[in-house]
Amino acid sequence: MKLEFGFFLGLFLGLWLIFIVLVDFFTFRNIINTKRKINFIKVICEFCGSVYFLYFKKEYWRCPFCGNINKI
pTM of the model: 0.42
Q: Pairing between strand 69-71 and 60-62? A: antiparallel
Distance of CA 36 to the CA centre of its chain: 11
Query: 33-46 pLDDT, tens per residue?
Result: 666 667 778 888 88
pLDDT of residue 31: 66
Query: 2-24 pLDDT, tens per residue?
Result: 777 778 888 888 888 888 888 88
pLDDT of residue 33: 65
With 0-12 CB in 10 A as exposed, 13-18 as middle and 19+ as buried, what is 40? exposed
Name the residue with higher pLDDT: 1 or 10.
10
Name the residue with higher pLDDT: 51 or 38.
51
Domain ranges of the chain: 1-37, 39-72
